[in-house]
Every structure is written in C-alpha cells, then in structure tokens.
A and B are shown apart, each in its own frame.
Chain A
C-alpha cells in the first residue's frame, strides 16, 4: 500500500506548496530550534489524572512547521506505518490552514488525535526525518504537530465527517473495538457497507480505554472518534463476545457476510516465581483495568483498588510505565520500575520514561525478581531481586541480561504489578477450530491481504502481530477494509 513518488511530487508542485516552501530559505528553516511541548508541572500532575502534555499553541505549531524542509524525497513518510503525507499536513499548518492539515491527516489515519499522542514517533516518522538522518539534529516534531491539527479540528467543532458511498446493503461484523476494529469499521462504513462492531467489554475502545491512562490519552478524545463513527452509521454492540454470546454460524445466519477480527493481545503473562499469587501481586492489565475501565480510584465507584505505599512494577514497556505512573498518582511513596536490562534497552516511549523520571519514579535497572514473601494475611511484603549484567546480544539484537551470582537482596513492597507482556486472546481461535493460528497463538493471515484461513474472515492488530502499536493496528484495520471490499467485488 505504498504511496507513489509521482503522486507525492504532484502534490508538492501545487502552487500553494511552492509558495510556502519558498517563503523561507533552507538555512533559515534549519536554524530554528525544535519546539518544546507544554506540560503540567510534575509535582502538580501526580496529584490527579490531568493530561500531562497540554499541546502546542497555534504560534508554536506554526513556528515548528517552518522547520520542515518539505523535502523532495520525504523520507519521514516511509517511517509512518500508514504513510501520512507528512510534509503536506505540516505545510498546511505553516500556512495557518489548520482544518486543511487535519483533513490531510484523515486521508490515511482514522485517529490522528490518538496517534499524535501515543505513537512512538522517535522510532517511526521522526527517526526517518531528514534532520535525524542527514543533519544529525533534532527531528521535526511530527507527532506534536499531528496532535495540534487533530485537536484544533476537534475543538473547532467543525469535524469533517468523511463522505460515504451509497449503502450497498452488505452486512459486515467487526470483532473488537480497539484501534484495529474502529479503523476497519470506519473504512467499511465509508465504502457503503453496513457495519456492526461487537465488543466484549462494556466500553468501546479496547486498550485505548482500559489500558492507556487518562493522563496520557483522555477518554473524551477517544469518545469523539467513536461518535464520528456512530454519525457515519456504524452500530456498536457492547457486552457481546463473538464465539460465546453468539457463534459465527449464528452471525452468518443473521446476514453478516464477512468478519474482521481485531480482538487484541489480551492475556497477561506471569513469571511463575514462588509467591507470585500472593495478595497484592497483580497483572498490569488488572491494575490498569480497575483504574481506567472501572474507575476504581473514584470514591463513588464500587470496584476496589489496592493503594500501595511501596509499589514495584516488573517490566520496562509502555504498560509498565503507565502502571508505575498510575501507582504514583494513587499515592505510592515509592513507585519503582524493576527492569532486567539497562535504560538503553527499555522498550517504552522515550517521552514516557522522561515523564516518569520527572515524577519521581525510581528505576531499578539490571535487576530481576526471584521470589515474593508475604505477611500472615497473605499480602506481599517483600521481594527478592538479583542484579544483572549485559552479555552478548540475543536474537532480538539486544544485549542479553545475565545474572550476577550472589547479588540477591530484598526490597520492601506491598504491591507488585507484573508487566512482562501479553499473549494473544484465545477466545476467537478457541471458538473456531478451523481457524489457523501460529505457534504463538496469533491468527495466521496472508500478509498480502490479511485474510485468514477462513476466506470471509480478515484479521489484524495485536491478535495477528502480538503486542504491537496503535498505529500498526490502525494500518491493519485500514488495509483489511480495502481487501474485504476487493473480496466482495471479486465475488460478484
């Protein structure tokens, strides 16, 4: 699904682009400093769930947009999994045409306000920016600008509802309402299909709702996107587990002619350490679900949450970072990351690590848990850890942590959140024995068209990739919609 060079060139040669490009010299552009994101002060923000980043002002955004050189060969686009026309939307911002910038984003991305906030930009588009590659300078702040344009459009109240093809009467079902499912639903609705999204939980949004916390991605932003899907005629059925509440056969009898499965990588992994089932030791999924989906920290809700004084989070990914910062906001005195490699290997987004450090999170790197101990009520009160050092690189290319003999010591803890990864959700594969899965339990699809071993079933997002990213899930949803459409056209 690669955008053609010719198309990009044609767009770049438009009069307005030429004009704005020539308004400053390259030298003037590269001499500008990268903008800083406005943030709520660390000591203030840990007292509530306010969003940490407050966004750029129009002035800041236009100034940052000037840095973009509108390259002939915009390498940045190759770093974006959905190939947003990055220079085009940035030049729209420079021009002051913010709504046009938002429209450009929406040509390829369904949830720009979400991606502008949660994409690991430093590994994707910004890693491929000319500034990073050639000038060895800080890249253009593509993510911040994307967020700016999307927020501007939303706050303006002039959200463009995409044009819809006339209804074709074909019913399709989308299973799971995470970014993969939502994107696929939106794209299919645009093409004139009648779409129903089935969601197991009582809320729509998948990880965007139950996983990623408010202080990073406010639910209200996700809700606006869901509303626009509803405006486009997409139907939602919550509390509906496909394969359990109704079988595929039953849904087919009800007229659904094709399915997109975006059921996510839901199953939390544990480490099978002695004492791991003591009270106070829980998965990050449970911890974050209680807080984000069940709103357990709100005194008016019934779901309980353990507020620890000394909280340890095992792991170094986004989920670990979200959990540890949540623990801090729930009043932890010590909130610690326990990670077996070093800071350099940590998979979490750089921005989240920086924010966590500002908030007083302790990082115990090159440290691995061995065993847990509990008081007489079964509540964890201590954990034994071991120091590690980095050895030879392993299959993933990262240096493998090796235990240092005799380096064990104990840490006082009363809550431990295990955040060492998830396995694919087995609900769909279990209810469809004829569906082919890989040895990891992910659904096997033809990479070309995301079709599974059952022709009318397409799949994407984490259920196919294992734990991946929001933008990859969206990219899959979009591609699957295009392929599903082809599938129907070829059947005629």
Chain B
C-alpha cells in the first residue's frame, strides 16, 4: 500500500508524487487533504490531494520542501512506500455556479488550487486564474491551470516571467476591470492575508484554504485551531477552507511559527546528514 508509482520535479524544491491509494482516490473531492507520515520515526503532516485517478487507484500530491518531513517525502522515489497515509480529510470545497470566479495561487498553494479551478470550470463558471511566485522557476502547473481557466495571469515578484508585481496587484487589475462574484486564495499565510484584504476592498466573497500546523487531522488535538469570526475553529474538521474575511491571519501567522526554532535545527541536521 501507499506505493509511489510516479515522480516528477517541478523545480528543485517542488515535487509531484503519484501514490497508490485506491480507497482515498475514490472518496476524495476537491479541497480534501491527507495526513502523511513518511517513516517509522516520522512526523504526521497534511498535504492536499491535487488530483486522483480512480481507475488507476492513485492520488497525486505536490510537495514543497520546507523542512524535514516535506524533504523526506519529496525525496522518496518510484517504488518506495509511504509508511502511513490517511484520508481524505477536511470538508470538500463547496462548488457552485456563481458567475465569474477569481482563483489565486501562491507558491505551492497552486497545487491545492488546481482541483478547485477544475471543478469551478466544470460547474460552468468563468474562471480567471492568477499564479504568483517569487520568480519564474517557482511557477508550477502552468499548463494544467491554463487548460481549465478562461484566462491565466502570471505574476512574479522579480518580473522574470509574466507580469512583475505581487499577486494583489494582479487581483486588483482584474477586479477593476470586471465584476468578480467569488474568489479563492491559497498560498502562504502572508499572501492569503493580503489577498483577502484586497478582495475585502472590492466586497468580493473570498475563501482561503488554511495551512496550519496539524498532528492527527481528525479533530482530536486542537493544534490546527484558528480564530474565524471571533470563534475558535479546527482547520482539519471545520476547514481547511474558511471565509477569508473572517480569519485572524495575524494569529495564524504567529501560531505557524510555534515550533520554528526546533524545526530549523532539525532541518539543518537533516541537511547535514544528507549532503
């Protein structure tokens, strides 16, 4: 079980893995995630299911290396097995026909955005997608996104590809130009915070998919808690998507750094051992 059947590098730090998991492949909907524990001594981390192939019985994960566990997973090869894999978890995205939707993906947030873009297109919406990254080599899944979008806009911080500027600038340009009915933003917490402030200015309802720290992913521990509209919510069972205008992003950003020092040291140790 959990055998890796295909692997592709999108960039040095971003990898796509196709993993055998027939039950999960069948049960998952856009917006769901899995919890992965790469080996016996490993940590449990959440990863979005980018796509699945029910016939082949596989799910696809897109992983960005940021620390020990994501590195361990991204370093697995075809034929290897993931020790523990459980899902699908979380609430599926609510997909409906609303008119024009603006989809914004930053960094590795593009991967979880892909199934949502696909589903909104299928539901008959006009889909405008913005992909944003620091530079050209960090832009991933461009072709797949183009296939399912009516319009694709690429923004890079350094101008090495597409239009130079932050994701929010691209969003403003679209919303100045035409009426947007709904927006979905997925990316680093800081990007979601500013993207959400931007759509708030334009009064566009917005969903953000939150990537908090998790342990079990089943509602048992509360590590993933965030404040939404003044109430404590658990991202793994109430989310991961929430009304972005209600999310306390500053608190979420703080909580994400909760284990930073321990994690950075662990990451350095791992890198030293695997030189």
Contacts and interface: CB of A to CB of B under 8 A. Distances in A.
Interface of A: 200-202, 238-241, 244-247, 266-268, 270, 272, 276-280, 282-283, 285-286, 289-290, 294-295, 298, 300-304, 306, 377-378, 425-427
A285 B221 contact: yes
B105 interface: no
A425 B218 contact: yes
Rank and list the top 9 A-B pairs by shortest CB-CB distance, nearest first: A378-B254, A286-B221, A239-B86, A302-B43, A304-B262, A283-B222, A266-B220, A202-B84, A279-B258
A467 to B, nearest CB: 13
B67 to A, nearest CB: 9
Contact of A244 (B87, B225, B258): B87
Q: Assign chain B's interface to a size class.
A: 35 or more
A277 B225 contact: yes
A304 B215 contact: no
A245 B24 contact: yes
B232 A277 contact: yes
A347 B43 CA distance: 33
Contacts of A240: 23, 86
Given A268-B220, A302-B266, 8 more contacts: A202-B84, A276-B232, A277-B225, A289-B220, A300-B41, A306-B258, A306-B259, A425-B219
Contacts of A278: 254
B45 to A, nearest CB: 9
B237 interface: yes
Contact of A268 (B24, B221, B258): B221
- Per DSSP, chain B at the interface is mixed
A201 B222 CA distance: 15
30 contacts: A200-B216, A201-B86, A201-B216, A241-B218, A244-B27, A244-B88, A244-B89, A245-B24, A245-B87, A267-B219, A270-B225, A277-B226, A277-B227, A279-B255, A279-B257, A282-B221, A285-B220, A285-B221, A285-B222, A286-B215, A289-B220, A290-B215, A294-B43, A301-B41, A302-B266, A303-B43, A304-B43, A304-B259, A306-B259, A378-B257
A221 B274 CA distance: 37
Contacts of A245: 23-24, 27, 86-88
A201 B221 CA distance: 12
Nearest to A269: B222
B243 interface: no
B77 to A, nearest CB: 20
A289 B27 contact: no
B237 to A, nearest CB: 7
Interface of B: 23-24, 27, 37, 41-44, 68-69, 72, 83-89, 215-216, 218-223, 225-227, 232, 234, 237, 251, 254-255, 257-259, 262-263, 266
A304 B23 CA distance: 31
Contact of A200 (B69, B86, B226): B86
Contacts of A302: 41-43, 68-69, 72, 266
A294 B44 CA distance: 8
Contacts of A241: 86-87, 89, 218
A267 B84 CA distance: 22
Nearest to B84: A202
Nearest to B40: A301
Contacts of B23: 240, 245-246
A300 B262 CA distance: 13
A178 to B, nearest CB: 12
A298 B84 CA distance: 20
A49 B37 CA distance: 24
A224 to B, nearest CB: 20
A272 B43 CA distance: 29
B219 A427 contact: yes
B219 A266 contact: yes
B213 to A, nearest CB: 10
Interface centre among B44, B68, B220, B226 (most CB of A within 10 A): B220
A239 B220 contact: no
Contact of A289 (B221, B234, B266): B221
B27 A246 contact: yes
Contacts of A425: 218-220
Contacts of A267: 219-220, 234
Contacts of B232: 270, 272, 276-277
Nearest to A203: B84
Contacts of B226: 277
A44 to B, nearest CB: 27
Contacts of A272: 232
A377 B253 CA distance: 11
Contacts of B84: 202, 238-239
Nearest to A270: B232
B123 to A, nearest CB: 23
Contacts of B259: 304, 306
Contact of B215 (A200, A246, A289, A295): A289
Given A245-B27, A300-B41, A302-B43, A266 B86 contact: no
Contacts of A303: 43-44, 215
Nearest to B232: A270
Contacts of A200: 86, 216, 218
Contacts of A290: 215
A202 B42 CA distance: 12
Nearest to B68: A302
A272 B68 CA distance: 33
A162 to B, nearest CB: 30
Contact of B216 (A244, A289, A298): A289
Given A277-B225, A294-B44, A266 B218 contact: yes
A150 B223 CA distance: 37
Contacts of B89: 241, 244
A202 B217 CA distance: 12
Interface centre among B23, B87, B215, B263 (most CB of A within 10 A): B215
Nearest to A211: B220
A52 B24 CA distance: 42
A108 B8 CA distance: 56
Contact of B37 (A202, A247, A378): A202
B24 to A, nearest CB: 6
Nearest to A300: B41
A373 to B, nearest CB: 14
A378 B253 CA distance: 10
Nearest to B224: A286
A239 B262 CA distance: 27
Contacts of A426: 219, 237
B222 A268 contact: yes
A238 B23 CA distance: 13
Contact of A286 (B42, B72, B222): B222
